[in-house]
Amino acid sequence: MHSDAGVVAGAGHRARLRERLIKGGAEALADYEVLEFLLFAGNPRGDTKPIAKALLAQFGSLAAVLNADPAALMRVKGMGETSAAALRIVAVAARRMARSEVVAKPVLASWQALLDYLAIDMAHLTVERVRVLYLDARNRLIDDHHLGDGSIDEAAIHPREVIRRAMDLGAVALILVHNHPSGSPEPSRADIQITQRIAEAGRLLGVTVHDHVIIGREGHVSLRAKGLI
């Protein structure tokens, strides 16, 4: 095909995708077409469909592509820094939007919003990360504390330190959160034991452990819902 004709055809394809997106809503585009559209920013004239399909083949899903490290994205043929940034900003925007549904609202009354935020923020992680959400008397988030990376046990998490931080912040309750990179959110014996020790330490000082939520790619588990707190 003549180069000018190729440009015209490409422009027509982009226009059709744009029209389907605007008129059809969230499900109007297939996953590879969503990536195609996002890649237009880094590839103003070229065909982005092969790159989009290569990304899905490499990373396995749309979510995995959007959560991938930019350096890993740029190892895919056709991807440059501008294209990687165009994909990265989607994950950043998704986290900001999800967080805005949690901040300044009673967490227990917005439980699904909290779970959505945690899943977006943690389900894709390849390392085990532990966080403590500290809450005030109205169950609003005071502090989202990144306690550390690594397995949950008393060598890494000291119950008294978790509770001491609550006292320093003026928090009256907390929610423990961590992820399982394996994908399954089922709690281990260590998960249960450390939760019960922190809850016990909290009871002595008037700090309630509302829950311990474990996030995995296959879903989430609440230790309170399982009757383990």
Give me the average pLDDT of each 10-residue run along the chain (229 residues). 51 80 79 89 80 93 87 92 91 83 75 86 86 92 87 72 94 94 86 92 93 90 89
| Four-residue CA torsion sign, 24, 27, 33, 38 | positive
pLDDT at 57: 94
CA atoms within 13 A on the CB side of 158: 4
pLDDT digits (tens, 9 = 90+) for 56-74: 999 988 888 988 889 999 9
- Beta-carbon neighbour count of residue 229 at 10 Å? 18
Residue 108 burial by CB count (10 A; 0-12/13-18/19+): exposed, middle or buried? middle
Which domains does the chain carry?
A: 3-97 (1.10.150.20), 107-222 (3.40.140.10)
pLDDT digits (tens, 9 = 90+) for 25-59: 767 788 988 898 889 877 777 788 999 999 999 99
What's the pTM value of the predicted model, to 2 decimals? 0.71
End-to-end CA distance of the chain: 67
Which two structure tokens, joined as six digits, stand for 198? 């922190």
How many angstroms separate the most distant Cα atoms in the chain?
78
Distance of alpha carbon 102 from alpha carbon 181, whole angstroms: 24
Q: In 3D, which of 91, 61, 111 has the Cα closest to residue 220?
A: 111
